[in-house]
Amino acid sequence: MKEFDPNHLKWQICCCHVTTAAYLVGSVELLVATVVAIVLIPLSINAHGSESSQILYASASGIALIWSVGEVVLLCDIRLRHVHRMNIYVFVQGIVFILMLFLIISIFLARQLRHYNDAGEEITYSGSMFSIVMALFFAAGATAATIYSIYVLLLLRRYMDAEKKHMEVVKKIQSIVKEQSPLES
């Protein structure tokens, strides 16, 4: 059996260990989710225009709050080495990411495409190509960041599995040595 080496290069991502990278990814995602929730909650309360805008903002802020809680759970699971929850987290993160991305792009496009007069009435729709391109760049960046974070979490899962198997082998060896020690005395 090959010896488990936690410092092997296969457990490195960029310049740090996979657990450190997972902590960084989780912390950054927690920060982003919290900021998004903090920004969207007042917007959902003070949404200008139709009721559908308020529902859109409220949905996005609710998903951001769920995302924040999920990130806190992820950080705790990394610390406590809960291997079995990593796949569930990756799946849920993908779903929440898709929903959040859809809602953010919808909000961004809705804000850019609607114009109101001084009385608060909607007057025109203008298809600004710049806002559409910016939304697409945002979506591409968010997609790349999510794919990277899922990669980090899957590598962390492999690391935790290898670490767990190594610890089981060490415990078996220790128990065999303890059983044989009294016999030699």
pLDDT higher for 29 or 116? 29
Structural contact between residues 90 and 154, judged by C-beta atoms closer than 8 angstroms: yes
- Helix/strand/coil (H/E/C) assignment for every residue in the chain: CCCCCCCCHHHEECCEEHHHHHHHHHHHHHHHHHHHHHHHHHHHHCCCCCHHHHHHHHHHHHHHHHHHHHHHHHHHHHHHCCHHHHHHHHHHHHHHHHHHHHHHHHHHHHHHHEEECCCCCEEEECCCHHHHHHHHHHHHHHHHHHHHHHHHHHHHHHHHHHHHHHHHHHHHHHHHHHHHHHHHC
* The predicted structure's pLDDT at residue 3: 78
* The predicted structure's pLDDT at residue 115: 57
* The predicted structure's pLDDT at residue 1: 54
Residue 124 pLDDT greater than 60, yes or no: no
* The predicted structure's pLDDT at residue 89: 83
The arithmetic mean of pLDDT across residues 124-152, rounded, is 74
* The predicted structure's pLDDT at residue 147: 84
* The predicted structure's pLDDT at residue 87: 84
* The predicted structure's pLDDT at residue 43: 74
Name the pTM for this structure: 0.73
Nearest Cα neighbor of 41 from 7, 68, 75 is: 68
Percent of the chain's residues with pLDDT above 90: 23
Residue 23 pLDDT greater than 90, yes or no: yes
* The predicted structure's pLDDT at residue 67: 82
pLDDT tens track for 43-92:
777 766 667 777 877 887 888 888 889 889 989 999 998 888 888 888 87
